[in-house]
Structure 1
Amino acid sequence: MSGGGSTGADAGERVREVARGARDSTVFHVLARVGFAASGLVQVLLGALAIQLGVNHFADADQSGAMEQLAQLPGGVVLLWVSVVGLFSLGAWLVIEAAAMRGGKPSVLWARRLQNVGKALAYAALALTALGVAQGHHDDASSSTRVMSVHILALPGGAALLVLVGLAIVGIGGYLVVKGVRRRFLRDIDVPELTGMATVVSVLGVVGYIAKGFVLAVAGVLFVVAAVTVHPDAASGLYGAFASLLTLPLGNVLLIATGSGLIASGAYNALRAWIARF
């Protein structure tokens, strides 16, 4: 038994060594930085669409809408293809980073690994959206979310599962808000001390993380509402979250402020592409 356990441990260590070698690759680092920059650009465009929705109540304010806006820029299609490569690479790097992690309490280690895998899935989903738009296929993100909700509700115990999905999204949103308020994002980057850049990055990070967390939390609440009311149209992703803000008192102001926060988040990610810690 001990021999088998030792062999398993040795195999696990070999996997981690291979993962660390890939993680430390210069090519992977460059591509991951491209992914951060692409994510930042999408967030800036998404924030601009949210502001447009707040001003005139008309905008395709979701990930696919942001990609469509990107495609319309000069050289936008090229930027889309670069974004696809960068976002997929960033997702792959996060998975490899998760595999290379070691040390600490097992529960904390696995929590960190799952966090990386969750981020990787989010970047992969964004990459697939960019890929679809680059190929000329417009896939409305809010419609896709509603279709997914229909399928989940059709499963045995689907309503409970959709509630769990919504609560998980709310939890992620809350985590991002806390990360912004406590400035934990500074662990991910290298910023020279006592410089103007340090202040700029800190402000953009705080505002950006709070805005992202707030939007995700609202989107998560909509999933819960869809499950409780058995009404999948309520689960409409980011566009639904933005639209729901318009129904609140001073909703326009709140939506414009949220859009501005997403632009700050995008600017932070663009800077992170330059100063990210690997």
Structure 2
Amino acid sequence: MSGRGTVGSAAGAADRAGNSDALENLARVGLIAYGVVHLLIAWLALQLAWGGGGQSADQSGALSTLAQQPLGKPLLWVLAIGLIALALWQAGEVLRWRQGLSASGDARKKAVTKIVKSVAKAIVYAALAILAIRFATGGGQSSSGQQQQQTAGVFGWPAGRWLVGLVGLVVIGVGVYLVYKGVSKRFLKQIDLGQAPPRTRNLVEKLGLVGFPAKGVALGLVGALLVYAAITFDPAKASGLDGALRTVLDAPFGQVLLTLVALGIAAFGAFCFVRARYPERT
């Protein structure tokens, strides 16, 4: 068999796996897990806003909170498996759109956009799965501190300061896009509500209108802190989502603003639950 035939067979097998019912069901678990993480972050943000904060209001704090609950560690393994399935699902999307790279014009542009988004999502889901496994095995730690250490390490690279600033600008861009996605209701393309009752459609629309902009604002602040860290050459400024939410709290009317952001993040988590029930069909 030729090399091209071998690659084609492997791609075909991976594509079939990406479309399998078993993987889709696991991906549903992953979407629920992703929603749970956002609900926990929202709860930690509310505690931070009203003076009861203990854990970091970010992914690490959410998973740490879950790990401390009865049956928390087994649940973390379930979350990790679901998130890995989500990452594989996105890898299947890359394979699904790969043929569009040989097209021209708008078809090629659409394929490139889909592939870039799927790769980015796969990385996010895989990273979160690894974090869940670390907490399940007792090796998790604050991602805020890790980010500061990683930023300090990047500062030591040639042009590392510029790289940190560039990453910050990219994160800001993602945040702006999420705000636009929520306001323009483009999130409805991610979910198949053809068989959903009217009340569910209205609920999903409201969750997306609130959830996506709130998450976008939070990510935009994370990116802004990275840019600020690059400008000041101070890795301590790169404090991740927890630092971003504390920045909101320090602003005028910060308690109210942080509460609104927390409720928005909770709405995004609830949207993930509905998306697991009514996944997009392509």
CA distance in 2, matches of 1:261, 1:187: 20
In the other structure, the counterpart of 2:20 is: 25
In the other structure, the counterpart of 2:84 is: 88
Q: 1:19: Cα distance to partner?
A: 3.4
Equivalent residues in 2 for 1:148-227, closer than 5 Å: 148-191=150-193, 192=195, 195-227=198-230
CA distance in 1, matches of 2:129, 2:277: 20
Q: 1:15: Cα distance to partner?
A: 5.2
CA distance in 1, matches of 2:141, 2:122: 21
1:72 aligned onto 2:75:
no
Cα deviation 1:201-258 (Å, max 9, x = unaligned):
1111121111111100000000000000000000011011011112210011111110
CA distance in 1, matches of 2:168, 2:10: 34
CA distance in 1, matches of 2:170, 2:71: 37
In the other structure, the counterpart of 2:39 is: 44
Unaligned runs of 5+ in 1: none
Checking the alignment, whether the CA contact within 8 Å between 2:19 and 2:92 is kept in structure 1 is: no
Checking the alignment, whether the CA contact within 8 Å between 2:168 and 2:225 is kept in structure 1 is: yes
Q: Which moved more, 1:217-226 or 1:204-213?
A: 204-213
Checking the alignment, whether the CA contact within 8 Å between 2:30 and 2:84 is kept in structure 1 is: yes
CA distance in 2, matches of 1:277, 1:115: 15
**CA 1:182 to 1:123, structure 2 compared with 1: closer, same or farther past 3 Å?**
same
Q: 1:13: Cα distance to partner?
A: 5.5
Cα deviation 1:169-189 (Å, max 9, x = unaligned):
001111111111111111111
Q: Which moved more, 1:49-58 or 1:34-43?
A: 49-58
Q: Which moved more, 1:38-47 or 1:201-210?
A: 201-210
Checking the alignment, whether the CA contact within 8 Å between 2:29 and 2:79 is kept in structure 1 is: yes
CA distance in 1, matches of 2:35, 2:74: 16
How many correspondences in the alignment?
A: 272
Q: 1:74: Cα distance to partner?
A: 3.4
Larger RCO (CA under 8 A, 6+ residues apart):
1
Match of 1:258 among 250, 257, 261: 261
- 1:56 aligned counterpart, secondary structure: coil
Q: 1:108: Cα distance to partner?
A: 2.8
- Counterpart of 2:189, as a letter, is R
CA distance in 2, matches of 1:118, 1:220: 16
Q: CA RMSD in A?
A: 1.8
CA distance in 1, matches of 2:52, 2:70: 26
- Counterpart of 2:12, as a letter, is E
Q: 1:138: Cα distance to partner?
A: 2.7
Q: 1:16: Cα distance to partner?
A: 4.7
Unaligned runs of 5+ in 2: 101-105
When normalised by structure 2's length, the TM-score is 0.91
CA distance in 2, matches of 1:37, 1:122: 15
In the other structure, the counterpart of 1:241 is: 244
Cα deviation 1:106-132 (Å, max 9, x = unaligned):
233112101111011111111111111
CA distance in 2, matches of 1:212, 1:69: 20
Checking the alignment, whether the CA contact within 8 Å between 1:16 and 1:100 is kept in structure 2 is: no
Checking the alignment, whether the CA contact within 8 Å between 1:189 and 1:277 is kept in structure 2 is: yes
Cα deviation 1:34-72 (Å, max 9, x = unaligned):
100000001000001011101106332111110111123
When normalised by structure 1's length, the TM-score is 0.92
Q: 1:73: Cα distance to partner?
A: 3.1
